[in-house]
Amino acid sequence: MSQQLGGQPIIILRQGATRSRGEEAQTNNFAAARAVAAAVQSTLGPIGMDKMLIDGMGDITITNDGVTILKEMDIEHPAAKMMVEIAKTQDAEVGDGTTTAVIIAGELLKNAEGLLAQKVHPTSIAEGYRMAAAKALVLLDGFAITVKPTDTAMLKKIAETALTGKNSEVAKDHLCDIIVKAVTFVIDTDGTADLAHINVEKKVGGSVDDTALIEGMVIDKERAHPNMPKSVKDAKVLLLNAALEFKKTEVNAKINISSLGRAQAFLDGEEQMVHAMVDKVIKSKANVVFCQKGIDDVAQHYLTKAGILAIRRVKKSDIENLARATGATIVNNVDTITAKDLGTAGLVEEKTVSDDEMIYVSKCKNPKAVSIIVRGGTEHVVDELERAIHDALMVVSVVVAGKKIVAGGGAPETELSLRLREYAASVGGRGQLAIEAFASAMEIIPRTLAENAGLDPIDMLVALRAAHEAGKKTYGLDVYSGKPVDMLKAGVVEPLRVKTQAISSAAEAAVMILRIDDVIASSKASGPAGGMPPGGMGGMGGMPPGMGDY
């Protein structure tokens, strides 16, 4: 980049740096962002298609989950990366609607391009989009429906909508039942459900129908010793955050042993220390021990003799979930164990699942942490099923916390489109053009649903608009019959927060990309050290060639 000044060009950017400005910069950014939206557009809806992604190592991912597709794609363009951020935010906040958010952002930019061609200033468009997004959130809240967290029938419909279009559809009823039960179990007193307390374990083998909910915890571990009991009924569970092994001194110490007898006495002393620790565990009447740290051979021997099932090196998160499931208190010091610290479980057993040993802690009374074992015929099926279950768990927990839902099938977007056009007329001025562009961008969702189902998008949009003009606010597109249908009656419902998050993050990203009029890219660094010249670091002048080899 150079600037002509009095006949002398002044170069201010490093050689190799590139700059695009004005219309060129905007066109490039819009094209990149819309390309990302186009990449996931065909996955939207119950009859959406899947993508096969192959990474640099040759590993295959088959999915129609928007955020997974965008994370796996090797995207370099900065504006395209901003679209990926929308999907990541949507996934982190509400778990579903990632494809919707990206498609809306792409359409907002497409419509902005049309306004820019009419010489509307980007700032005017950005302001109009912000006003439209704020109004859309108010409108959405106005026609949202309140749901009680105890309404399991409605929660199942929400889970079903999240699973529809995924490969898991074959066992939809079974999975919805598991998902709603799991979330219901872990609801805290403040009415929220933290998904960290639902442990999802994947195991290849069996079929999707074999996916099961365990009312307790499943730990991917095996018994500390093969002679320990394989199953314990009416278990009294002790959770230890302390090692059952000989304590080494904290300072470096040298012990000189002068005779053979003394060496044996020293070893016996070690054993007695461990024996005393295990005795405290036995006296507590615990018959199952989960230890976050190590259990040495001597301790294993004594625990086995006492008929105690022990598991060592259990993850901190698993120990915390076990405490919620069994009602046990985590003990940090062996000396302070009491009978009150123990939890209970109807059955603790070691099971072999797909050639791996796992510990099942089941039949817990009122467990506040549960596990879902995900099964499927192949690794790709299990992976996609886990993604679908994650989405469904998220949306159900969002409804439990937020208590509001909207109809699906493009119904809220069609309603928003009509109401925002009315709002635009009341605003007037240049803002009106931008709000109208925002309103028409909303229709990309029903349009895409129709396209992906092989229906005529224009006919479907006209039919949907007619239904909404007649006051049928919850009418959306039934992709199977090709007609507008009451989505509430059809059981196609989504959390309000999925829609509000999708619209607000899409609008923010679109405005941010819209306001960029200059893109300056530095030249790529050569070499791993950020452009170290060949022959060594600067200041080492005079080093002869080949000296770096010594």
For 298, list phi and psi in degrees, rounded to 5. Answer: -65, -45
Nearest by Cα to 497 from 158, 78, 128, 45: 158
Q: 54 — phi, psi (to 5°)?
A: -120, 120
Q: Which whole-number Å values give the CA distances from 157 to 143, 161, 233, in the listed order?
A: 18, 6, 37
391 is annotated as an active-site residue: yes
Which DSSP string corresponds to 53-110?
EE-TT--EEEE--HHHHHHHS----HHHHHHHHHHHHHHHHTSS-HHHHHHHHHHHHH
Hunting for tokens 């208590």 — which residue is that? 403
Concatenated DSSP letters for 244-313?
BSPPPPSS-------SHHHHHHHHHHHHHHHHHHHHHHHHTT-SEEEESS-B-HHHHHHHHHTT-EEE-S
Selecting among 91, 391, 448, 474, the annotated active-site residue is 391
Tokens describing residue 155: 């929660």
| CB distance 239 to 217 below 8 Å | no
State CA 323 to chain mean position distance.
24
Candidate list 43, 63, 89, 99, residue with the active-site label: 99
65 among known catalytic residues = yes
The tokens describing 191, both together, are 């009415």
CA distance 12 to 25: 19
Give the three-class secondary structure for 63.
strand
Phi first, then psi, for residue 519 (nearest 5°) are -120, 115
Q: Which of these is catalytic: 68, 98, 161, 500?
A: 98
486 is a catalytic site residue: no
- DSSP type of residue 9: E
Phi, psi of 378 (to 5 degrees): -135, 165
Q: Max CA-CA distance within the chain?
A: 100
Per DSSP bridges, beta strands 217-219 and 356-362 are antiparallel
DSSP 377: S
Neighbours of 58 (CB within 10 A): 6
Residues 19 and 1: beta-carbon distance below 8 Å: yes
Mark whether 99 is an active-site residue. yes
- Show the beta-strand stretches assigned E in 389-482: 404-407, 475-478
Give the tokens for residue 203: 């195991």
From 43, 61, 63, 65, the catalytic residue = 65
Q: Could you give the angle at the alpha carbon of 531 between the alpha carbons of 530 and 532, nearest 5°?
A: 105
Give the contacts of 194 (CB within 8 A, at least 6 positions apart): 186, 188, 397
For the annotated catalytic residues, the residue numbers are: 65, 98-99, 391
